[in-house]
Every structure is written in C-alpha cells, then in structure tokens.
Amino acid sequence: MSVVLSSIRLGPQHAFRAPRTRLVSVLRAPARSLSAASAQPASPAKDSKRSGPASEQSVTPLSEDFSRWYLDVIREAQLADYGPVRGTMVIRPYGYALWERLQSWLDAALKEHGVQNAYFPQLIPMSFFEREAEHVEGFAPELAIVTRGGGKELEEPLALRPTSETIINSMFAKWVQSHRDLPMRLNQWANVHRWEMRTRPFVRTLEFLWQEGHTAHATPEEARAEAMAMLEVYREFAVTQAAMPVIAGRKSRIEQFAGANATFTIEAMMRDGRALQAGTTHDLGDNFSRAFGTQFSDAGGRLRHAHQASFGMSTRMVGGVVMSHGDDTGLRLPPRMAPLQVVLVPVAARGAAAAAVLAAVDAALVALRATGVRAQADVGTEKSPGWKFSHWEMKGVPLRIEIGPRDVASGTCAIARRDRPGKEGKEFGVPLAPELLVQEVLKRLDEVQAELLERATRFRDEHILDVSSHSQFLEVIEQGKWARGWWAGSDEQEVALKEESGATLRCFPLEQPGGGGTCFLTGKPADQVALFAKAY
C-alpha cells in the first residue's frame, strides 16, 4: 500500500493546511488487494505495454454478472476487504475516503439545521428493548449480545446497539423537562451491529457505520416536519453529491421502522435495476417517549409526552455510489464524492525529456491543488502509462491528465474523462498554462458530475414502468424493472405480492400524479401510486 493519497486531505475542510510544496509526490502502484476469495500471495506485476491489457485489474464485466462485478470492484479498487468474523468488513482507505466525503457534507448540513453531535454508549440493557413492543419484535432477532465483562458473567445481558432510540430516550427522559428544552436535536456518528445472515460489502454487513439523528419536539406536527426536513437533506446529498437520482417517498406499514408511526425513504436504482434504500427518516410519534417517560411541562405547566423523529444514513451509501455509476472497467466516481478527482500521468518521457515533463506535471499538480482540486501525480517508473490508465480507471478517478514531451513543447496536455471511455472522452491540446488548465479541469469536473446524474436519471426513468394489472406487474418485475401503479391493497396483499414476485413496496413517492386511479391488484379506487422493485 504505497499509494499515499495525500490529496484526500485537500478537501475544503482542510484547505487551510494544503501543502504548498513543489515536490512531485512519488506514487508507486499498490500491491494487489487480496480478498478472502484469492488468498494467494500476489506475484510482482509484470509491466504491460501501454496498449496491452492490465491483467492485474480485470473485473467480471458488469453486464455479464452484476453481483460478481460488484465484488470484483470492491476488491480491485481496494474499497473493502472481508473481516475475520463472518459478515464483517474492513473499510480500506479508498472506501473510507468516500465515507469521509459523505461525513463532511452531511455533518455540515445537520449542524446547519441545528443538530448537535453527541455520543451515547453502545451497550444497551436488554430490558430497554422490551419497553417498546414493536421495536423489540423488529430488532431482537438481529442483536449481538454481551454476556461477559471483566471476566464475569453479567447480571443483565447487554445488546450492541442496532440503533439507539431506546438508550437515547432513557437520557431524553432526564434532559427534557420543559417546553423550553425543545426542540432537542442530537446526532451521533457511530457503529451499529445487526446480525444479518446474507451479507454483502457496504450494502449489508454485521457491523456498519452511520449517523443517527434523534430529536424531540413539543408537537406531532413538528416531529413529522423534522422527518420530512431530514429526508430532504438526504435527497439533496444523494442528488447533488452522489449523483444518485433517488426517489423520496413514504414506506408502507409493512416496511416501516419498528416503532415508528411513519418511515420516509430515499430509494436509489442500481445499475442492475435493483432498489437500494439509501437513507431513512422516521416519525416516531410519542411511541418511545411513552415507553421511557420522556415528558415536558408545556407553557401552561401540564406534562406532555415529547414527539420524536430519528434518521440515519450509513456506509451502505458507498455501495450505492459504486452500483449507481460503475461500468465494465470499474468504478466511476462523481467528482464531488471522489477522494481523488484528477490523476496526472507523464507519458513517453524518457531520457532528457523526462525532466521537463515531470516539471510540467508538478506545476499542473501544484496549480490544481492550490484551487482545492483533489489531484495526484502518478510518476513512478515501474509501471507503464497503460497500466496506470487502467489502474486509475478501475478506481474511478473522474479526470486523467496526460503530459508528454510533445505536449510540453506545445504547451498543451490531454484530458481523459472517466465517464466517457476510450477516444470519445479524451481531448488533446488542452492548454497547460496553470490558470487555463485549472479552468478546463473545473469545467470538466462539473460536466462529469452533471453527466453522471443525467445518465443515471435516464437509466432510472427507462426502468420504471407503469402497471395497471397484476400480470403487467409480474412482467415488469420479471424484467428486473420497477413497477409503478395505483395501490389500495391491504397489508396482507402487499406481503403476498412480495412472496409471489420477490418485489417489495419501496415507497409511495412524495411526488404523486394527483387525483386517483384504480388499484392494479384489487381494482379498488386508490388515491396514491406506489413503487415496487426487487431490492438489496
């Protein structure tokens, strides 16, 4: 692991520390990532010709086997590896850097909204879960339980938090006394455990990282408004940063959070057509405040139960970015999420010309970094340019700048866009002069960001079909697409439909056509449409 992605620290949050050194960082290619599936020691890589295949970094084509493609990309781009305990995952630096991009944006957005960070203990007495009937029913089967501590059996077993509504309410019950204490808005960045049987890196693991916000309000209306406001924050993040055209909506009773009055979700479409629930917010009503006695005295001195909301987004989102944008040759990262936005590669620079090329690479690197662009130069001599191109394509770096002796002579360079593979995405003759180059790069980063979103939006819209009958529904789901239709079915009918088709009711989209229609299953009058899909 000799690639020091020092550029990762060059985000706006640390811009004040950006190093101004004019030294070209020497980058060497990383060793092959070893997943549990390929435990052979890596053999030293052979240099491939520029035009030759990059044998180290091949992945199963996305179109051939999406699931294998995903695992290959996770491994080859060194996003994650398997932990020693079944179902656990190690988030490697490149994957963690994506998470840090999310953290940085979301943390600022939550603080802007008045949410304060705090930290609550991970160990929750089992008895806490039992206070809220639906909650314990929903989470008990998934708990990891500590029964020994300090060499002794514990009197009461302790659960590792699967979510923190219970322990947070045990504290809110002490802190919330008066209407003047409300609203109370807390958030924590934490790990959680859910003992899942079928796991997949980032998407579903025994342990994952997330933020969980928990609020208390004086009225039911405020709690509902909070859940909606946080949903909009998540939607904004997904669309503007992750270039994921998610659909915001409300979950059905069957699918909502255990203990909530209503759950809201943003649903994303992966490139295999499956849905990914990418963030949820919950209107908890007074369910937990009644269970834990979270009460406040109102302006008239009467005791009332607080109304609450909670909301979470997790490392699952990293998997969402991978599965929303990747292609046959690896990751494609939206520039705003990319740990590394630009990689500079010297080409055909041997002998006397090498020094001039390296100086040009260095000057471009310094200019880009000074503007806050997360850039890195790959100047090692062990690997060929072709190997490097494949390597950084696999890692999804949005732009590659190539500089050779003739470029230096003509004061130009070539820029290749990751989102448009091959010649189509490569432009020659881009000016090398620092101010001009920076403008060209910033313009293209914006273009890549916008185009990934447009492409994903087109893909999404092509894969959502309106259905007006049961058979149409089954056909659409069978095609791996999403079915949208008027819905007035019962909970039981929803469950039966899931068992029959494998698709779940993803949400009632907030954007409704208006008016009413006829339920595609029951033929009854319906006042809203629902989205159904197979999901992760």
Closest CA to 536 of 351, 213, 267, 179: 267
Residues 6 or more apart in contact with residue 429 via CB below 8 angstroms: 410, 412, 414
Using CB under 8 A, which of 59, 71, 73, 158 touches its own copies? 158
- Least distance to its own copies from the beta carbon of 19, Å? 7
- Least distance to its own copies from the beta carbon of 166, Å? 9
Site for its own copies in 16-35 (CB under 8 A): 16-17, 19, 28, 30-34
Transcribe 291-333 into DSSP letters.
Answer: HHT-EEE-TTS-EEE-EEEEEEEETHHHHHHHHHH-BTTB---
Residue number with CB closer to its own copies (1 or 496):
1
Are 504 and 296 in contact by the 8 Å Cβ rule? The answer is no
Site for its own copies in 167-196 (CB under 8 A): 167, 170-171, 174-178, 180-182, 184, 186, 190-191, 193, 195-196
Q: Tokens for 270?
A: 């992966």
Site for its own copies in 310-339 (CB under 8 A): none
Give the end-to-end CA distance of the chain in Å, rounded to a whole number: 31
Q: Tokens for 134?
A: 């639906």
Residue 357-396 contact track with its own copies, rule CB under 8 A, x = bound = ----------------------------------------
Assess 39 for contact with its own copies (CB under 8 A): yes
Locate the DSSP E strands across 422-503: 426-431, 464-466, 482-486
Are 51 and 386 in contact by the 8 Å Cβ rule? The answer is yes
Q: Which helix (H) or strand (E) holds 138?
A: helix 133-139
- Least distance to its own copies from the beta carbon of 338, Å? 16
Residue 118-157 contact track with its own copies, rule CB under 8 A, x = bound = xxxxxxxx--x-----------xxxxxxxxxxxx-----x
- Least distance to its own copies from the beta carbon of 318, Å? 11
Residues composing the chain: 536
Q: Tokens for 388?
A: 């490097």
Among the listed ranges 49-57, 108-116, 274-282, 403-411, the one in contact with its own copies (CB under 8 A) is: 108-116
Residue number with CB closer to its own copies (145 or 450):
145
Residue 69-88 contact track with its own copies, rule CB under 8 A, x = bound = ------------x-xxx--x
- Least distance to its own copies from the beta carbon of 241, Å? 14
Are 245 and 121 in contact by the 8 Å Cβ rule? The answer is no
Using CB under 8 A, which of 2, 63, 381, 479 touches its own copies? 2
Distance between alpha carbon 14 and the CA centroid of its chain, in Å?
Answer: 22
Which residue is associated with the tokens 């920076």? 438
Applying CB under 8 A, the site for its own copies has a residue count of 90
- Least distance to its own copies from the beta carbon of 253, Å? 25
Alpha carbons 410 and 117: distance in angstroms, whole number: 53
Among the listed ranges 7-15, 229-237, 275-283, 467-475, the one in contact with its own copies (CB under 8 A) is: 7-15
